[in-house]
Amino acid sequence: MSSGIEVRLARNSGFCFGVKRAINMAMKSAPVSDNIVTLGPIIHNPQMVEKLKSHGIDYVDSADQIPSGATVIIRSHGVTRQTMEELRSRDLRIIDATCPYVSKTFHHAEELKKQGFAVMILGDAKHPEVIALKSYVNGDAEIVASASEFPERTYRRLGIVSQTTQSVEKFQELVCRAIPNCDEIHLINTICNATNIRQDSTLQLAKKSDLMIVIGGRNSSNTKMLARISDRWTETHHIETAQEIDPAWFAKKKNIGITAGASTPDWIIIDVYNVIKENIGARDLKAMNVEDIPGYKEE
């Protein structure tokens, strides 16, 4: 019987399409403009935000802090319609890096309202994407964080959309809860595929691991969701960087899984992988080589 320790990386983890696109758009703008800001941190990852800062791209918290003549990058979560209108009316160059899937959700919500549906959003009311989404129905939407928040009332026509990073499971629960209370439901599955795929990969890996390390910003909804999914199956630790790893976690563990949120850069994943490797190296580590690192070989 082998006493080796397996370390596996979830098949799909790390930067999603929308985040990669936003970072690329920001990086491309860096050499051609010297007065660039993002409206809010570009992604929910402090290390990436620092990296952009080193390229001269800082962030501001609100539109009124953007100096005249600046280039402003709209991050993948998007902004409210009012904010976009305000920015367009000013002397600013706008780089709109709103993820196309997020824009599509805005469009769907707008259409539902136009068609006369009461709009319900599954999501975190404080999340910038949800705040922006609500603005596209002029604030006229109910936001629920889970099925248990479904209001005690009936609807003639209810339209339901979701924040792109919610879990399919929660969306299903909400719809099941809504059915007895509605004459008609128009449901649009706005959960992003990247989210689905990452959640599924995490679930599959968590099922065969006795320890899961979930990497990503503490305020990243999609990373927190991965940690919740994993935690239902096995011991799980949510970390932002390799420095938070506690070697005691690895005692008696045989199968260690790693997954990362859609806003976690590859270099942090590799760093975590290497620190795990160092920690378990003395304990009959199974052969691991360069092919095990993200982007080379995936589990």
Which residues are part of the catalytic machinery? 129
Contact call for residues 37 and 72 (beta carbons, < 8 A): yes
Q: In this structure, are strands 118-122 and 155-162 parallel, antiparallel, or unpaired?
A: parallel
- State which of positions 67-86 bind ligand F3S (CB under 6 A): 76
* Residue 132 C-alpha from the chain's centroid: 16
Nearer to ligand F3S, 29 or 221 (CB): 221
Return the number of the residue (37 or 262) whose C-beta is nearest ligand F3S: 262
Residue 37 vs residues 34, 82, 86, 136: alpha-carbon distances, Å: 9, 19, 16, 24
Three-point CA angle 291, 47, 230, nearest 5° = 60
The amino acid sitting at 21 is R
Closest CA to 271 of 248, 241, 247: 241
CB 163 within 8 A of CB 106: no
Pick the binder of ligand F3S from 109, 158, 194, 276 (CB under 6 A): 194
Q: How far is the CB of 253 from ligand F3S (least distance, A)?
A: 30
Site string for ligand F3S, 151-170 (x = CB under 6 A): -------------xx-----
Smallest separation (angstroms) from ligand F3S to the CB of 162 = 11
Tell me: does residue 195 bind ligand F3S (CB under 6 A): yes
User: Is 101 a residue that touches ligand F3S (CB under 6 A)?
Assistant: yes
Going residue by residue from 4 to 43, which x/- string records binding to ligand F3S, judged by CB under 6 A? ------------xxxx------------------------
Per CB under 6 A, the list member of 99, 132, 158, 212 interacting with ligand F3S is: 99
| Cβ within 8 Å of residue 102, ≥6 positions away | 18, 76, 77, 78, 129, 132, 164
Q: Could you tell me the smallest distance in angstroms from the CB atom of residue 77 to ligand F3S?
A: 7
Residue 273 touches ligand F3S, criterion: CB under 6 A: no
- When asked if residue 104 is in the footprint of ligand F3S (CB under 6 A), the reply is no
User: Which residue of the chain is nearest ligand F3S when measured via CB?
Assistant: 18
Among residues 194 and 256, whose Cβ is nearest to ligand F3S?
194
Of 221-240, binders to ligand F3S (CB under 6 A) are: none
Say which residues have a Cβ less than 8 Å from residue 117's Cβ, sequence separation at least 6. Answer: 157, 158, 159, 186
- Strand (E) positions, the chain? 6-9, 36-39, 57-60, 71-74, 93-96, 118-122, 141-144, 155-162, 182-187, 211-215, 236-239, 255-260
Among 133, 262, 268, 272, binds ligand F3S (CB under 6 A): 262
Q: Which residues here bind ligand F3S, judged by CB under 6 A?
A: 16-19, 76, 99, 101-102, 164-165, 192, 194-195, 262
